[in-house]
């Protein structure tokens, strides 16, 4: 029982150390748009993984463990890719 509790405490907290950020983006209309945004975001060291949902116009950003990225940086990167940020929601 103590081992299970210890495992939960160790691995249960990993989600806190890695963040997920949903960014609503205006102007995405095709898969090339998604690729352009992914390319700009993946160059940022704090970002581990990027998923683009074209139907909902959302870019899901997963950060590296123990790292964060500011809303300003996200907005700057997406703007440089040629799109507008409508909202940013952190999970």
In this structure, CATH architecture of domain 18-90: 2-Layer Sandwich (3.30)
Which pLDDT band, with edges at 50, 70 and 90, does 23 fall under? very high
- Cβ neighbour number for residue 51 with a 10 Å cutoff: 13
Comparing C-alpha atoms, which of 32, 30, 29, 28 is closest to residue 78? Answer: 28
The predicted model scores a pTM of 0.78
pLDDT at 82: 92
Residue 67, judged by CB atoms within 10 A of its CB (0-12, 13-18, 19+), counts as middle
pLDDT digits (tens, 9 = 90+) for 13-22: 444 456 899 9
Mapped onto helix, strand or coil, the DSSP state of residue 14 is helix
Enumerate the domain spans of the chain. Answer: 18-90
């Amino acid at each position: 029982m103590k081992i299970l509790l210890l495992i939960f405490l160790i691995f249960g907290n990993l989600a806190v150390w890695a963040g997920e950020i949903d960014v609503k983006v205006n102007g995405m209309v095709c898969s090339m748009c998604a690729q352009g945004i992914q390319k700009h975001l993946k160059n940022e060291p704090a970002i581990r993984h990027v998923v683009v949902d074209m139907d909902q116009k959302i870019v899901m950003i997963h950060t590296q463990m123990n790292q964060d990225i500011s809303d300003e940086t996200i907005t700057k990167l997406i703007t440089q890719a040629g799109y507008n940020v409508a909202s940013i929601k952190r999970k």
